[in-house]
Amino acid sequence: MRPGKMIAQVLGSIFKKPATIDYPSKKYEMPKGFRGKLKFYPERCIGCKLCMRDCPTGAINIVKKQDGTFEAEIDLGRCIYCAQCVDSCLKKALEATSEFELAQLDGTKLKVVFRGEAKGSDTGKT
């Protein structure tokens, strides 16, 4: 590239508006249909484990508790956010949220367990 042409390009870019967004100072609204962090509804789960079988990375583990409810262990470090588990769940017990800020220095914090409480109670998450 010739120096004169390069200087013209540099000077021209000074007056252009930036092509990037002001993230993280301005929160970015994710588009409809975005596949972010998974949400589990234990009260809807029937324990068929189709989500486990369809997960290409094996990031989901459904466990039956003694009281007959189910809990989901989801390893967000392994999840590729394809939402195949959401599509295959017959009872809509899994949902992809718009939450995408999931970075962690501690890998153990990426393992999320969604626990269902005893029948008739609210659900909890740890």
This model's pTM is above 0.85: no
Please tell me the distance from the alpha carbon of residue 96 to that of residue 109, in angstroms, as a whole number: 19
Domain containing 45 equals 29-125
- 41: in domain: yes
pLDDT tens, residue by residue, 91-124: 999 999 999 999 889 988 999 998 866 444 444 4
- Mean pLDDT across the chain: 86
Please tell me the distance from the alpha carbon of residue 1 to that of residue 124, in angstroms, as a whole number: 61
Q: Are 116 and 107 in contact (CB under 8 A)?
A: no
- 3: in domain: no
Give the helix ranges, DSSP H, for the chain: 3-14, 50-54, 84-88
Closest alpha carbon to 50 in 32, 66, 62, 37: 62
Please give the tally of structural domains in the chain: 1
- 109: in domain: yes
**Domain CATH for 52:** 3.30.70.3270
